Amino acid sequence: MKQMATYDLMETMRNTNEWLGASARAMASYPVFGMVPNPMVEMIAAWGKVTERSFARMVTKPAWGIGSVVGEDGRDHMVETKVEIARPFGDLVRFHIPNRPEKARRILLCAPMSGHYATLVRSTVTSLLPDAELWVTDWHNARDIPVSAGKFDVEDYTQYLVDFMKHLGPDTHVIAVCQPAPLALAATAMLAEESPDAQPLTLTLIGGPIDPDAAATDVTDFGRRVTMGQLEDMAIQRVGFKYAGVGRLVYPGLLQLAGFLSMNLDRHTQAFTDKITAAARGEDSESDQHNRFYDEYLAVMDMTAEFYLSTVERIFKNGEIAKNAFEVNGKMVDIGKITNVAVKVVEGSKDDISAPGQCLAALALLTGLPDELKAQHLEEGAGHYGIFAGSSWRNNIRPLVFNFMDTHAERKAKKTKAEPAVKLAASNS
């Protein structure tokens, strides 16, 4: 009950701040105050408006908000989201564009499950859709999943990726952004050994912690400083009675959000101060840059306790992926078994979450993969968010990733055409 009480206390604090913001906005908006104009009243209304919106966003799953894309014919084509595989802890969602000729590129975008919803990669989705058929992993908020659905840890996550890859088939290009990078690598290795014909065509790993010890960050330092017992005591709580997952042990999104904000507290404080000032002057808008960013950034979701703890222990503390010692369901996963999936690593020189070197470690683990199937790119001046969603992604990284995909799609096509001729020559001899 103690863990439930602390969970409900956090939700009560969030709800209270949302109410305070709404109350301040409503009070300062009384017409009577217009009779005696006062800048302080406008500041109170602006503070209330920004505060109410900010705290309300923390419990709301953002919509994808992608209504259409422009086709090669110059017309807008409607975008439909369809769940192709529904699972308790996450779905495989397709962004389907009816009446558009099917694109050659088939992409599975593995969105991170690290406290934010899959909509965090909305801009990545928007940039990929015009030129590809696209599927995305859409992870669910653990607070909404009944205890009867069972557990969900890093092994279950990896098995989900294996199942999604099998469903999409061998002509798929997989892109893993941040957190899923090591598990997408493990899932590909599982397919290489168990179902070689279902392996993806290419695998692009973007800013992921393959080997957290390769370059220290605040995230890796924190993982080293605390024991698993301390972490469980500090971070794990039980979902309260308000949600369907009542009683489930989780790492609350609100708690993780506090950690996110504390890492760059000065920057966030200045951003909200500027926003309140702009609102008081009437210079803000519903869709300005601040709202677009923070509507997404503040929308957090709970992770199952077993997923969070196993990620910290097995990926960060024990370095099981980095040591090629990762197991799923009691069976060792050998990354060296990957022999014909082209792998590209993308990092940002200013990434303070997964610093340069952490993701690059993947290439050294691919001992069975020829060098011509390995590629890497370091984006100068790019931070963590920029390598998959910012201007660095749009202008530099996206074209490189598409070129990587197309190059190896052509390689496979040539190999497929050559195989019948080789078999025919062998039979004639």
Q: pLDDT at residue 425 above 60?
A: no
pTM: 0.91
pLDDT tens profile 182-234: 999 999 999 999 999 899 999 999 999 999 998 888 777 777 788 888 888 88
Answer with the residue of higher pLDDT: 37 or 251: 251
Instruction: Report in angstroms the alpha-carbon separations of 389 from 29, 50, 172, 352.
Output: 37, 25, 21, 16
Query: Residue 422 has what pLDDT?
Result: 44
Tokens of 164: 């999604």
Q: Is there a contact between 363 and 204 (Cβ–Cβ < 8 Å)?
A: no
What was the pLDDT predicted at 36? 72
Q: What is the pLDDT of residue 428?
A: 57
From the list 274, 264, 261, 272, the residue with the least C-alpha distance to 350 is 264
Two structure tokens written together for 389: 């969603």
Compare 262 and 357 and report the one with higher pLDDT. Answer: 357
Q: What is the pLDDT of residue 60?
A: 87
Tens-place pLDDT, residues 267-307: 999 999 999 999 988 888 887 889 888 988 899 999 999 99
Q: Of all residues in the chain, what percent carry a pLDDT higher than 90? A: 65
pLDDT of residue 202: 96
